[in-house]
Amino acid sequence: MYGGEELKRWKRMVTKSKSNRLSVFNLPSVSRMLFPNGIKLLLTVTEIFELEFAYYESKTLSKEELIKRGAYFESIDGIETFHSKICKETSKALFENCSKSTISYFMNGVYSTGYATHGLFPYRGKFHPQMIKALMNIMGIKEGETVLDPMCGSGTLNVEASLIGVNSIGIDKNPFACFMSKVKLESLSLSLELLDEALKNPKEIINEFLKTKQVKEKLLLAEDEESKIKRLFLLAFLDAMGYARRTTKSITLLFPQVLSRYIKQVRSFLIISRKLNLKLGKGKIEFGDARDLSMIRDASIDCVITSPPYSFAIDYAENDRPQLEYLGFDVDTLKNEMIGLNGKSRKEKLQKYFEDMNRVMSEISRVLKAGKYAVIIIGSNDIQTGGIRLENKIKEFGILHGLDLVREIRKPIKGIRNTMHEEFVLIFRKEV
C-alpha cells in the first residue's frame, strides 16, 4: 500500500546527476515521477501531505475509481474527475453576483473544504474533507460498507462517505454539532423542486424559528422532506446569528445573504449530483458519547476516522453558545459532560482528558472489525499540555487496546493561530 519505487528511482537519477549539475534540470518533476502520464493533479494540491495521499490513492484505486472517487485529481486520461466537476459547479454557483471579498474568502477553500455541503456553516477545527475521502480510499473502503466518526463535529466524514457511496455513522456530544452534521448530510439528497418551491415563501419558514421550544423540537426531529428544507434554512439563520455576534450588522440584514449562499451551494450540488448520477451512501447522525458506543455492536464497523476535540485550543461549547442556547440547551451543563472541558486546574483537565481518550480508544477497538483500520487525527501543543505529546498518548492507548500503529503522517495546521501548528494522522490496524 505504501510502495515507493518511483521515489527510489528518482533518487538514483539525482545521485547520477551530481557529477554534472546542469543535468539536474533534465530530471522529471517529482509529480511526473510519482504519477504516470494521464494523471493530472488539481492545482490546489500544494502541501506535501496532499501529494503523499494522492500518491497512495493512485496506487490503491483503478483509473475508473480515481475518476469517480479520487480526492486530489483533476482528470485521468483526459476525463475530468467527479471531484473536480462538483467543485466547479459549486464555485460557479457561489460566485455569481458576489462581491470580490466574498469570492476571495471562499475561492481558496472551494476545492479543498467548501464543495458539496461542506461550506455550510464554516466550522473551526474541522477535518480537511479531501484528506478524509483519500483516507477512505487508501483504507480500501467499498460502497455499502460502514465508517464511523464517534466525535463527528461538523460531519465532514459523513458527507465524504455519502459522496462515494459509503454508509456512515456520526456521533457527537454537542447537540449543535449533531444538528449541523444532520443538515449537511440530508441536504445532499433534498428535492430540488421542493427547495425551489420553499424559496417562494421564505418568511413563512422563518416564522417557524420564532415559535415555542416545543415547535422547534418537533422541527429538529421530523423526517419529512419539508422539515429537512426548514432545517437548512434554520442552519443559515443560526450561521447569520454567529456573524451578527462578531460584527455590528444585524441578523435581519445578514440572514438573507447567508441563506442565499446556502441555497446556491445546495442547488449546485443537487444539479451536479443528478448529472453524475451519484449513488449516495446512507448516513446517520446521533447524539451520543464516544466514551460509550453501546448503541453500536461489537466488530460491526469497517473503518473509524475521527479527530479528538482540540479542547485545549478551542472551547467548542462556548464557541457555539448562541446556537446551543437558541436550540434550548444549557451550555454550562454540556461543558461538564464534554471530553477535555471539565476539571478545575489544567492538570485536572489533562488527567481527565487522557482518561476519557483511553475509554474512547477502547470503544473504537471494540466496534471495529478485526484487520480493519482506525485513523486518529490529533494535534499537539507541548505548552498547553505541560510537555506531553498528545499523539504519543493516543499511540499508547491504541496499542493497549489491540490497535497496531502501521503509519504516522505529519501535516501542518492552518487557521488555529498560536495554539497548534501541526497534527498527526495516526493509522492503526486492529489485530486479527
Task: List pLDDT tens digits, range 130-152.
Answer: 999 999 999 999 999 999 999 99
Give the pLDDT band of residue 417 (cuts 50, 70, 90): very low
* pLDDT at residue number 204: 73
**Which of 79, 137, 133, 96 is CA-nearest to residue 111?**
133
* pLDDT at residue number 103: 58
* Choice among 48-62, 202-216, 342-356 with the minimum mean pLDDT: 202-216
Is residue 1 scored above 50 in pLDDT? Answer: no
pLDDT top residue among 200 and 413 = 200
* pLDDT at residue number 201: 74
Highest mean pLDDT, choosing among 73-77, 109-113, 124-128, 418-422 = 73-77
Dig out the grid coordinates for 195 from the structure.
427547495
* pLDDT at residue number 418: 46
Is residue 22 scored above 80 in pLDDT? Answer: no
Segment 284-292 shows an average pLDDT of 96
Is residue 5 scored above 90 in pLDDT? Answer: no
Q: What are phi and psi of 224, to 5 degrees?
A: -75, 160
Which residues fall within 8 angstroms of residue 399, CB to CB, at 6 or more apart? 405
* pLDDT at residue number 62: 96
Answer whether 235's CB lies under 8 Å from 180's CB: yes
Which residues fall within 8 angstroms of residue 272, CB to CB, at 6 or more apart? 85, 86, 89
* pLDDT at residue number 277: 97
Distance CA 305, CA 364 (A): 10
Residue 166, Cβ density class (10 Å: 0-12 exposed, 13-18 middle, ≥19 buried): buried
Encode pLDDT of 225-277 as tens digits: 988 998 999 999 999 888 887 887 888 788 888 898 899 999 999 999 999 99
* pLDDT at residue number 341: 59
* pLDDT at residue number 199: 80
> What does pLDDT average to over the chain?
85
Give the pLDDT band of residue 177 (cuts 50, 70, 90): very high
With H, G, I as helix, E, B as strand and everything else as coil, classify residue 44.
Answer: coil
Encode pLDDT of 372-390 as tens digits: 999 999 987 666 677 788 8
What element of type H or E holds 377?
A: strand 368-379
Is residue 124 scored above 90 in pLDDT? Answer: no
* pLDDT at residue number 366: 99
Which residues fall within 8 angstroms of residue 211, CB to CB, at 6 or more apart? none
pLDDT top residue among 295 and 414 = 295
* pLDDT at residue number 15: 59
Task: Tell me the H-state helices in 327-380.
Answer: 331-337, 346-367
* pLDDT at residue number 92: 73
Distance CA 423, CA 153 (A): 17
Residue 431, Cβ density class (10 Å: 0-12 exposed, 13-18 middle, ≥19 buried): exposed
Encode pLDDT of 310-337 as tens digits: 765 577 888 888 899 888 889 988 888 8
* pLDDT at residue number 24: 61
Domain boundaries, the chain: 5-34
Is residue 363 scored above 80 in pLDDT? Answer: yes
Is residue 95 scored above 70 in pLDDT? Answer: no
With H, G, I as helix, E, B as strand and everything else as coil, classify residue 381.
Answer: coil
* pLDDT at residue number 125: 61
Encode pLDDT of 193-227 as tens digits: 988 888 877 677 677 676 666 667 777 788 889 88
